[in-house]
């Protein structure tokens, strides 16, 4: 009898099914039953915009596809027109100088870029005592931990709590790491993600400065994930690039994405930029694994990045998200959540709220509200151990569906109990 499972490596054996797939499977399983009782699922679980990308970028892609030279292999690094558009964008949006020749690399989405970046610095081992450490935000994007685990590294949690205003003192976190029995010499990198998924929390430039200083002092690679940099609300300080901090380029690499600002999640395109050595080693690794992004996609992406249509699209969708945030926060206030004492996010399309006290775990609450009301949420524990007791809601659904969520919760008795 063949046994393919016996061939799996010890690294992949420990992988867990990505939380979003698990939720999607469970939702599909329950859909017929929920639909029958008038509770067809409303998905507030996806970290993805629901609207159509800008017409401008769709037209640019269609046009690019007509050009024969667009259909051949790209260089892994990215075509010069793409790299130059990135440099122009970095200058215009953040006031940062980036050399398109040596400091930018195209990515098949920032998720791919992050995973490969981690691979360039971690020496794989399954022996926990020997493992290289990458410090990651907790709660944080669920992929970081699994990406690090599968390459035989250790993901150490940087606790993001209301008490530390989601901007913890990194020297204190490092002291805690040593108290927990780890060696600070094993730390290779620190990941920062502002605006944060799932919290929606943003960071001040002063805080980013302190993290740069911390990483320079200890020689830890600073990995900045700014997938949500352009998703912020009117009147708020625009989220920063790490390179707005002087000296950051000596130690940092930053990951950018087209997915969220332009609703281009399926296009799979992004970029890494910053420290030339980090960019170069990431590129070297990637050139053994993939052959870059479809040139027509690079062309259309380059055009939207520096266009006024792109900026107008972002501004308009941020206004829409602000309206949606108000619908949902007003609704949760009526349901008893003490919204006004919480930090309402100034960025992203997420809301991070405590579960009602009668539930022991966030999984229990999310399963109950899915089964009874067809409302799909993500349990906070999926984002790390500091996420327990909370859930994440993405207000990417239509305004009507958001109102329907509140209506169902009232009808089905999902109130906040103090």
Instruction: Closer to ligand PLP by CB, 93 or 111: give it.
Output: 111
Instruction: Closer to ligand PLP by CB, 114 or 212: give it.
Output: 114
List of long-range contacts for 204-208, beta carbons under 8 Å, 24+ apart: 204/167, 205/240, 205/244, 205/245, 207/167, 208/240, 208/242, 208/244, 208/245, 208/248
Report the candidate in 55, 112, 113, 34 with the shortest Cα–Cα distance to residue 273. 113
Strand partners, 152: none
Report the candidate in 229, 320, 211, 209 with the shortest Cα–Cα distance to residue 271. 229
Instruction: Closer to ligand PLP by CB, 239 or 374: give it.
Output: 239
Which range in 8-16, 98-106, 238-246, 257-265 contacts ligand PLP by CB under 6 A?
257-265
Q: Residue 313 corresponds to which tokens in the numbers above?
A: 């699209």
# of chain residues touching ligand PLP (CB under 6 A): 13
Question: From the CB of 273, what's the least distance to ligand PLP, in Å?
Answer: 14
The verdict on 290 binding ligand PLP (CB under 6 A) reads no
Which range in 72-80, 103-111, 124-132, 372-380 contacts ligand PLP by CB under 6 A?
103-111
Question: From the CB of 184, what's the least distance to ligand PLP, in Å?
Answer: 25
**Per-residue string for binding with ligand PLP, 133-152, x by CB under 6 A?**
--------x-----------
The verdict on 54 binding ligand PLP (CB under 6 A) reads no
**Using alpha carbons only, what angle is made at residue 67 by residues 285 and 268, rounded to the nearest 5 degrees?**
40
Q: Confirm if 225 and 195 have CB atoms less than 8 A apart.
A: no
Question: From the CB of 175, what's the least distance to ligand PLP, in Å?
Answer: 26
The verdict on 109 binding ligand PLP (CB under 6 A) reads yes
In the list 31, 176, 265, 361, the residue contacting ligand PLP (rule: CB under 6 A) is: 265
Question: From the CB of 229, what's the least distance to ligand PLP, in Å?
Answer: 10
**Per-residue string for binding with ligand PLP, 167-206, x by CB under 6 A?**
--------------------------x---x---------
Question: From the CB of 270, what's the least distance to ligand PLP, in Å?
Answer: 4
Instruction: Closer to ligand PLP by CB, 259 or 373: give it.
Output: 259
In the list 42, 45, 47, 331, the residue contacting ligand PLP (rule: CB under 6 A) is: 47
In the list 111, 209, 286, 324, the residue contacting ligand PLP (rule: CB under 6 A) is: 111
Distance, in Å, from the CA atom of 256 to the CA atom of 240, rounded to the nearest integer, reads 12
The verdict on 110 binding ligand PLP (CB under 6 A) reads yes
Q: With the C-alpha atoms ordered 156, 162, 164, 168, is the resulting torsion angle positive or negative? A: positive
Distance, in Å, from the CA atom of 415 to the CA atom of 214, rounded to the nearest integer, reads 43
Beta strands in 88-153 (DSSP E): 104-107, 133-138
The strand order across the sheet containing 350-354 reads 350-354, 390-394, 378-379
Helices 362-373 and 399-411, interaxial angle, to 10°? Answer: 100
Which range in 35-43, 105-113, 165-173, 329-337 contacts ligand PLP by CB under 6 A?
105-113
The verdict on 292 binding ligand PLP (CB under 6 A) reads no
| Residues 6+ away with beta carbon under 8 Å from 134 | 118, 121, 122, 144, 148, 153, 154, 155, 156, 187, 188, 189, 190, 191, 223
Distance, in Å, from the CA atom of 282 to the CA atom of 101, rounded to the nearest integer, reads 14
Instruction: Closer to ligand PLP by CB, 58 or 335: give it.
Output: 58
Instruction: Closer to ligand PLP by CB, 256 or 408: give it.
Output: 256
3-class secondary structure, 394: strand
Question: From the CB of 93, what's the least distance to ligand PLP, in Å?
Answer: 17
By DSSP bridging, strand 375-376 and strand 378-379 are unpaired
Instruction: Closer to ligand PLP by CB, 39 or 145: give it.
Output: 145
Task: Return residues touching ligand PLP (CB under 6 A).
Answer: 47, 109-111, 141, 193, 197, 225, 227, 257, 259, 265, 270
């Amino acid at each position: 009898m063949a046994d393919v499972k016996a061939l799996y490596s010890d690294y992949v054996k420990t992988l867990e099914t990505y939380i979003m797939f698990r939720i999607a499977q469970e939702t599909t399983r329950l859909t017929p039953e929920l639909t029958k009782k008038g509770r067809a699922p409303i998905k507030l679980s996806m970290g993805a915009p629901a609207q159509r990308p800008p017409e401008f970028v769709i037209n640019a892609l269609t046009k690019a596809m007509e050009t024969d030279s667009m259909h051949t292999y790209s260089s892994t690094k990215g075509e010069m027109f793409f790299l130059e558009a990135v440099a122009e964008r970095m200058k215009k949006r953040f006031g940062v100088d980036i050399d398109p020749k040596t400091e930018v690399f195209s990515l098949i989405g920032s998720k791919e870029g992050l995973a490969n970046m981690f691979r360039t610095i971690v020496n794989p081992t399954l022996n926990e005592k020997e493992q290289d450490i990458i410090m990651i935000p907790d709660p944080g994007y669920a992929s970081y931990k699994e990406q690090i685990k599968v390459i035989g590294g250790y993901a150490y949690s940087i606790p993001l709590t209301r008490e530390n205003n989601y901007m913890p003192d990194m020297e204190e976190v490092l002291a805690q790491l040593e108290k927990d029995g780890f060696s600070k010499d094993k730390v290779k990198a620190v990941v920062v993600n502002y605006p944060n998924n799932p919290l929606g929390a943003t960071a001040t430039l002063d805080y980013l400065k302190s993290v740069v200083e911390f990483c320079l002092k200890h020689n830890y690679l600073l990995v900045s994930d700014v997938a949500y940099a352009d998703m912020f609300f009117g009147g708020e300080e625009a989220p920063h690039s790490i390179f707005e901090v002087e000296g950051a380029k000596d130690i940092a690499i930053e990951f950018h994405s087209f997915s969220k600002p332009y609703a281009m999640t399926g296009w799979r395109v992004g970029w890494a930029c910053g420290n030339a050595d980090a960019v170069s080693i990431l590129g070297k690794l990637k050139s053994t694994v993939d052959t870059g992004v479809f040139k027509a996609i690079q062309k259309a992406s380059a055009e939207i990045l520096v266009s006024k249509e792109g900026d107008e699209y972002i501004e308009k969708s941020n206004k829409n998200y602000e309206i949606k945030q108000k619908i949902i926060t007003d609704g949760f206030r009526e349901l008893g959540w003490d919204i006004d004492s919480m930090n309402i996010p100034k960025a992203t399309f997420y809301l991070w709220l405590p579960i009602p006290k009668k539930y022991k775990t966030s999984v229990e609450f999310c399963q109950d509200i899915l089964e009874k009301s067809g409302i799909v949420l993500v349990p906070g524990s999926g984002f790390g151990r500091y996420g327990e007791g909370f859930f994440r809601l993405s207000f990417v659904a239509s305004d009507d569906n958001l109102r329907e969520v509140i209506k169902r919760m009232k009808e089905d008795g999902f109130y906040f109990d103090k």
